Amino acid sequence: MRAKASVRSWSIDDASCAGDGVSMSTPLPDYSEEIGLLRVQVQRFINEEVMPCGDTWEADGAVPRDVLKRMGELGLFGIRYPEKYGGAALDTRASIAFAEELGRSTYGGFAITALVHTDMASPHVANAGTDEQKDRYMPGIVSGDTITAVAVSEPGAGSDVANIRTSARKSGNGWVLNGSKMFITNGQHANLYFVAAKTDPDAKGSRGISMFIVEKGAAGFAVSRNLDKMGWRSSDTAELSFDDCWVPADAMLGEENRGFYAIMQNFQNERAVLGAQAMGEAQKAIDLTLGYVKTREAFGAALWEKDVIRQRLAMLQAQVAAARQLVYHAAARDAAGEECVKDVSMVKALCGELVNEVVYTCQQFHGGFGYMREAPIERMVRDARVQAIGGGATEVMLEEVAKRM
């Protein structure tokens, strides 16, 4: 049996397991002893639990729930949540460090499975739930016994949240939901769903949307199908259907007809975390490529001896370092309670595009080996593509920046 642990219980002696991750002696924009130890614990988990099994999870299309349960036992699902629920009560910078280290695993599907639970879905109840709702659900969320998903996107409404069509109408002492949701990460295997639905059919635009808590097994709720994706293969992604799905009145999350604003608030954290994950992936791709080009010989010398390769990797390293500073700048502003929509939108746009440039260049420098499924860089190329789409497409993010210029 594994002893339960939390972020606050980690010992500085754990630094010895840092492996090839971020050195504890390297100055970091987020640096604190607690966040440094968080990085070490995530690196240890990846080395011991993810790297030996990641290929199997890719083939199976999901991360086993016992693996997620172990993450909960280690305190990795309660980084931002109050101690009363078993959390560590850290701030946005801790979530960013967590996401960055998960990105370095090279398994984007595993990373997003965990991050949707910790930073994209469960914040809905943590931020807007009543005391009763939080007391009921938060302990299981933190322990990993309850895995969450957020259901906003629809076949005809992705980044355009205001145009969702799923409806909720009052019925007795509750609500009846009808509609469908698309591209829902953790959609097949989650236990708890936070669902956006139109509660005022006459309201225009973003008005009249509410959030609901729907438990797996609710009558009228079903996983329509599991979706087959280009990348993030170890992340289960599904289409959901609601056919006269009744939920009690106390399943409403937050204020009636104010769900759009809750979604937008949570988008800020989601987009910052996705930017951090992307920069973890980009840095790992550079690290892997450096190891390859310094040993792979062509035309009588290592590839590293070619000016064009050295200089291109050096420029990519400079760009990743700069983008990473932007990520932590946005996280620091968010942690301080400042309005940072422009900063986070820049993070999502820049990092989503940059990670694709990095992994494609790194694959090129791997040559034919980089096209083989046995090469991590091949998987990273497929996984990175969605970073410019999911959580807010680059074009949508740039419009958010432009509005505030």
Q: Do the Cβ atoms of 6 and 85 come closer than 8 Å? A: no
For the beta carbon of residue 250, count every other beta carbon within 10 angstroms: 13
83 an active-site residue? no
- Return d(Cα 110, Cα 376) in angstroms, integer: 14
Q: Which two tokens stand for residue 138?
A: 């938060």
Exposure class string for 92-124: b at 16+ Cβ within 10 A, else e: bbbbbbbbbbbbbbbbbbbbbbbbbbbbbbbbb
Which of 72, 73, 53 lies closest to 64, judged by CA?
Answer: 53
Q: Which two tokens stand for residue 324?
A: 């990473």
- Chain centroid to Cα 256, Å, comes to 27
- Return d(Cα 405, Cα 403) in angstroms, integer: 6
Q: Calculate the alpha carbon distances from 172 to 166, 168, 217, 247, 248 in Å.
A: 19, 13, 20, 10, 9
Q: Do the Cβ atoms of 119 and 194 come closer than 8 Å? A: no
Please report, to the nearest 10 degrees, the dihedral formed by the alpha carbons of residues 264, 269, 272, 277 taken in order.
Answer: -120
Q: What is the DSSP letter of 365?
A: H
Query: 3-class DSSP state for residue 338?
Result: coil
Total residues belonging to the chain? 405
- From the list 154, 239, 270, 281, the catalytic residue is 270
Q: Which two tokens stand for residue 239?
A: 């289409």
Q: Do the Cβ atoms of 237 and 59 come closer than 8 Å? A: no
**Catalytic residue ranges:** 270
